[in-house]
Amino acid sequence: MLHGTIWDKLLMLALPLAATAMLQQLFNAADVAVVGRFVQGEALAKASMAAVGSNSPIVNLLVNFFVGISLGTNVLIAQYIGQGDHEDIRQAVRTSIVLAVLGGLALGLGGQLLVVPLLTGMGVPEDVFGLSALYLRIYLVGMPVILLYNFEAAIFRSSGDTRTPLLVLTASGLLNVALNLFFVLALKRNVDGVAIATVVSNAVSAAVLFFLLCRGRGDLHVDLRALRIYPNSLRRILRIGLPAGVQGMVFSLSNICVQSAINSLDTVAMAGSSAAYNLEVFTYSIINSFGQACTTIVGQNCGAGQYGRCRRTLKISLAFSAGFFAVVACLLLLSGNWLLSLFNPDPEVIGFGLIRLHTLLFSHVFSLFVEVFSGYLRGFGMSTAPALCALVFICGSRILWVYLVFPLYHSFAGIMAVYPISLGLTAVVITVCALAMRRRLEEYTLHMRG
């Protein structure tokens, strides 16, 4: 990451990251597709789709906080690698493992108390409420292993290894699909079956990565006897990761508000929205992967004091992100009708799904700037600015839209319009912010290291 051309190293990082995110979403989409196609009874199938889909914003709210903190692990270890601080790398790795497990236990247990209030606050319909609560409670049981996998993946990615998490996720994802079909087709279960399958597959992926870290012999090696929280490592991880975690929570909180508006329409709209979400996220995965790759390369070169390479990484990340996004977006636009029918063949469900898919693909043009510039700033250890932008312009505008504008235009298209507006505002602000702060980032980094 510190020498030679940048574009090939960026692709080496970003493409496995994108493939990992896409596979993860593909396996999550399998939950929706299996219950939508194979649960017996059309009404129950639509209700099960709506139940799984309505939980997506809640799950993201609970998970994204710690996933954001895991970005602190990624940046910190990358900077230590650039500086050659071997003992600091080992302490950061150990701290991250313990933090993931403790955070997962707290989230899993505490989240059980929030299931009913969250679903009630979102206005989940009565015919979907029981299924939604069941799915969410089972999913929360798996929080320790879900967070552990994300922190372990961040450790591997900090050193430039994105292929190992991808291979492990591929294997566990195939297990997830197989278990989905087994529980729904063989055991005649619905949302509880796909939730159990998700937890089991995540446990397998976390266990495999943990085994590889324990078996390794480099600075990323995990010694079970040395696992503990190192205060200095924890402080630096939280300083970088906490704002990113807050940004992820804010983003998810705004989506909960939007989901509550969708829930006020009907079950068919909820089902269509759920199906489209599992498609549109593929373009977001492309964009986000280049943002994360930018973070890793900038982090290592920032640690080595090579700021010119940091600036070149930003430009190349923007160009590659735009190119790959355009290709995937065109494929989704051309095949959207057919892909949505895989989740549920009902024309009404497909119609709602197409509205969301077209709107969000346009909105992700703005996400491109939000994610890449955020990744660039985080590579320098500066996470507060992206978090504040998300809080004010994403969360704030969406909440205002739901409570002030949506009642006047009470339709599915009316609520979808909030996405391009909120992301467009955020893209303009964070781009201007990053460009204006570009020359100050080097001084900020030197101050933080001092």
User: pLDDT truncated to tens, each residue of the chain (450 aa)?
Assistant: 678 888 888 998 888 878 877 777 776 677 777 777 766 667 777 777 777 777 777 777 777 788 788 888 888 888 888 888 888 899 999 999 999 999 999 989 988 998 898 888 878 888 788 888 998 999 999 999 999 998 999 899 888 888 898 899 889 888 988 998 898 888 888 888 888 998 999 999 999 999 999 988 788 888 888 899 999 999 989 888 888 787 777 777 787 788 888 888 878 888 888 888 878 888 888 898 899 889 888 888 877 778 788 889 999 999 999 999 999 999 999 998 999 998 888 899 899 999 999 999 999 999 999 999 988 888 887 777 887 887 888 888 888 999 899 988 888 999 999 999 999 999 999 888 887 776 666 555 555 554
Q: Which domain holds residue 326?
A: 7-449
* The pLDDT value given to residue 159: 83
* The pLDDT value given to residue 244: 78
User: Is residue 222 in some structural domain?
Assistant: yes
User: Is residue 103 in some structural domain?
Assistant: yes
User: Is residue 99 in some structural domain?
Assistant: yes
User: Is residue 297 in some structural domain?
Assistant: yes
User: Is residue 1 in some structural domain?
Assistant: no
User: Is residue 220 in some structural domain?
Assistant: yes
* The pLDDT value given to residue 441: 63
* The pLDDT value given to residue 390: 79
Please answer whether residues 241 and 68 qualify as being in contact, where contact means their C-beta atoms are separated by less than 8 angstroms. Answer: yes
User: Is residue 26 in some structural domain?
Assistant: yes
Residue 346: count other Cβ atoms within 10 Å of its Cβ: 21
User: Is residue 2 in some structural domain?
Assistant: no
Split into its structural domains, the chain has a count of: 1
SS (H, E, C) the chain: CCCCCCHHHHHHHHHHHHHHHHHHHHHHHHHHHHHHHHCCCHHHHHHHHHHHHHHHHHHHHHHHHHHHHHHHHHHHHHHHHHHCCHHHHHHHHHHHHHHHHHHHHHHHHHHHCCHHHHHHHCCCCHHHHHHHHHHHHHHHHCHHHHHHHHHHHHHHHHCCCCHHHHHHHHHHHHHHHHHHHHHHHHCCCCHHHHHHHHHHHHHHHHHHHHHHHHHCCCCCCCCHHHCCCCHHHHHHHHHHHHHHHHHHHHHHHHHHHHHHHHHCCCHHHHHHHHHHHHHHHHHHHHHHHHHHHHHHHHHHHHHCCCHHHHHHHHHHHHHHHHHHHHHHHHHHHHHHHHHHHHHCCCHHHHHHHHHHHHHHHHHHHHHHHHHHHHHHHHHCCCCHHHHHHHHHHHHHHHHHHHHHHCCCCCCHHHHHCHHHHHHHHHHHHHHHHHHHHHHHHHHHHHHHHC
